[in-house]
Amino acid sequence: MKNKKLLNYSDYLQLEKILSGQELMSAKRGTPAHDEMLFIIVHQVYELWFKQILHELDSVMSIFKQESIIESDISFVVLRLQRIIEIQKILIDQIRVLETMTAMDFLEFRDDLFPASGFQSAQFRLMENKLGLLNDHRIMYGGKNYTSVLKEQEKSTVQSSEEEKSLFELLESWLERTPFLSFKGFDFWKQYSKAVRSMLEQEKLIILDNPNYSQEEVEYHLNEHENAVLSFEAMINEERHNKLIVDRKKRLSHKATQASLLILLYRDEPILHSPFNLISRLIDMDELFTSWRQRHALMVRRMIGAKIGTGGSSGHKYLREAADKHKIFSDLADLSTFFIPRSALPELPTDIKQNLGYQFKQ
């Protein structure tokens, strides 16, 4: 112990490496642009947070890969997702710091960056793949596969992440295995469908009777309503649900969708608290990724207007479309269409209720 070298703050954090990693391309060219330092540091901070998010995601996924998952495991998952969510909020806020650089100041060094772009962030692609963004759901970028712009070594890591089971798939099979789907003789779906159908009928009347809607608006809302009806009928009928999956209108399997709905509806039952929190955090996380994409797209619009990106995409247009389409857990968020008031929920038989509760026996 006596001869043990005392640990030093900067050695422990390897600050020498980190703080010597800001090389201004504009300075190399002989005309240093003041704001390039901010530009580099902001991107580096992002990549560090991406690393932390991947660390949390890997741990969450390894829990889901276990053969049996106990209640306390789900609490761990929820805590880790909560950490990701807090980081995501910082990622969105951080854009404000970068926006203290004006579009004119960016032009002082923008040409030095060609063809580098955030589009080449391997860690960003790893996050997308681990969460479950499918390759053929991606908006095409200049007709090329998104991995074609990555460095060789990064490309193979990102490509192998496409082969691994994603969080979406792991969650889906966990939901399919949930024991509380079995209602032993109690016809939940019959009672529940009656309540939902009457709610949907009521909503149709509200659309038709709204004096403020134009004919066009009525048609739009009726069309949306019809989609909700079809989606509900698919909840009851597996074949219809599978057809929606083939048509790419849904992704989550029929069994997993039914399980999620039950968790969301009966969230007040003690055993469903953690599963309910899990589903809610996944929806939060998905929304925050979308918010970051939208916020980034707005910043890009402000910085480069209608110019193409340094990575060669249509810039703002590509980013807006990706924000709209690159979502993973929308099927979970959409389930709220079928929520009914607590008071209208079918009462669970006592034996089922007991199975869903914590029982403290002396």
Q: Which residues contact ligand HEM by CB under 6 A? A: 42-43, 46, 98, 106, 117-119, 121, 124, 296, 300, 303-304, 309-313, 315, 318-319, 322
Nearest to 230, CA basis, from 248, 249, 217, 215: 249
Rounded to a whole number of angstroms, the CA Rg of the chain reads 25
Q: Which is nearer to ligand HEM, 256 or 322 (CB)?
A: 322
Nearest distance from residue 22's CB to ligand HEM, in Å? Answer: 14
Using the structure block, give the residue that is written with the tokens 């989550």.
252
Nearest to 20, CA basis, from 46, 48, 47, 40: 40
Nearest distance from residue 302's CB to ligand HEM, in Å? Answer: 9
Nearest distance from residue 130's CB to ligand HEM, in Å? Answer: 15
CA angle 60, 64, 67 (to 5 degrees): 145
Nearest distance from residue 150's CB to ligand HEM, in Å? Answer: 12
Nearest distance from residue 164's CB to ligand HEM, in Å? Answer: 20
Q: Which is nearer to ligand HEM, 229 or 304 (CB)?
A: 304
Q: Which is nearer to ligand HEM, 43 or 255 (CB)?
A: 43
Question: What does the DSSP assignment read for 27-85?
Answer: HHTT---TTHHHHHHHHHHHHHHHHHHHHHHHHHHHHHTSSS--HHHHHHHHHHHHHHH
Q: What is the total residue count of the chain?
A: 362
Q: Which is nearer to ligand HEM, 172 or 286 (CB)?
A: 286
Cα separation, 221 vs 230, whole angstroms: 14
Q: Establish how many alpha carbons lie within 13 A of residue 343's alpha carbon, considering only the half-sphere containing its beta carbon.
A: 0
Nearest distance from residue 300's CB to ligand HEM, in Å? Answer: 4
Q: Which is nearer to ligand HEM, 297 or 352 (CB)?
A: 297
Q: Which is nearer to ligand HEM, 132 or 309 (CB)?
A: 309
